[in-house]
Amino acid sequence: KASGGWRTYKLRQDFIAASKVQMEDDITASIVVPRSQIPNLPAEYDMFESLKISQNCEWRLFQRPDDAILPGFDQQTEEDLAGDQVFVSNFKPIYEEEMRDLSEQVDFYEILTEPMKKHMKRCIKEGGVNICSAKPRIWNGQQTKNPRYLQVRPDVAKPQDKYLAELGTRLYRRIPASDPCVFPVAGVISGRRNNPPDEINGMKILPLCVFNPIHYQELPELF
C-alpha cells in the first residue's frame, strides 16, 4: 500500500488443492440409508448411524459467468461458449462485421483464450449472428450484470477426470471391481455469497455477506 502497510493473505484451513467433481446442484435425488448397508467405506464413516447418498439430476448447470466480462479471465466459460449447441441468455448478439472489429482490437482479442479466438474466427468466416463471452447484452445503455448460460456438467463433458477420481478411491478403499463405489454426504456446510452492495433506482441493496458464514435460519431455508 502507499502508506507502507502490509496485507496478509492466507488460504482457508480446510483448503485442499484439487479439482472438484460437482456431485449436485439445483436438482438432486437423495436417499438416507443405514451405515451398515454400504460396504467398503473408510473408518471415518463409522461414527454415523445413517448416511445420505445424493445423485445429480441435471445434465446442464445454470451458470452466471460474472468474470467472463474480463477477456481471458474465465477460461472455462470461454471454452464452453466457444463450443456447439450452447444455450445463452443476456449476451449481446454480434454479427460478422462487429466480430471482425473485435478481432482487430489487439488489446482485447489477444487476451482471450484460444477456444474463444477460434470461435470468433469461425463466426467471421461463416457469418450470421453469434456471441462473445466478454460482451454481455446491452440494456438501457449499460451492460447487463446478469449473463447466463447452460454448462454441460464437467463430469459429463470430461468423463475421464471423474473416472480417474473414482479409480483412485477404489484403490484406496480396496473396493472390488464388481462393487459400486459410493460417495456419501460427509458434511453439510452453510455458505455465504460475498455479493457487494448494489443500488437500483436509487435504492441501496445490502451485501449478502452481512450474514456470518454459519448462522441460524429455520429449516429448510438453511440447506
Segment 106-132, tens digit of pLDDT: 999 999 999 999 999 999 999 889 999
Is residue 36 over pLDDT 80?
A: yes
Stronger pLDDT, 15 or 66, i.e. the higher one? 66
**Where is average pLDDT lowest: 13-17, 49-53, 157-161?**
13-17
- CB–CB of 123/112 below 8 Å? no
Encoded amino acid at 122, one letter: R
* Nearest CA among 134, 137, 146, 144 for reference residue 103: 134
What is the reported pLDDT for 223? 44
Identity at 4, one-letter amino acid code: G
Does position 78 have pLDDT exceeding 70, yes or no? yes
Higher pLDDT, 40 or 211: 40
Residue 95 above 80 pLDDT? yes
Least confident of 95-104, 120-129, 160-169, 196-205: 196-205
pLDDT of residue 147: 93
Does the structure show a pLDDT above 60 at 191? no
The answer on pLDDT for 35 being more than 70 is yes
For 107-150, the DSSP string reads HHHTTS-HHHHHHHHHHHHH-SEE--TT-BPEETTEE-S--EEE
- pLDDT of residue 222 exceeding 50: no
User: Residue 4: what pLDDT?
Assistant: 62
- pLDDT score of 159 more than 60: yes
Distance CA 90, CA 148 (A): 6
Whole-angstrom distance, CA of residue 151 vs CA of residue 30: 22
pLDDT digits (tens, 9 = 90+) for 164-186: 989 999 999 999 989 999 999 87
Specify the pairing of strand 94-95 against strand 129-130. antiparallel
**What share of the chain in percent tops pLDDT 70?**
82
Specify the pLDDT at position 40.
92
Q: What is the mean pLDDT of residues 196-216?
A: 64
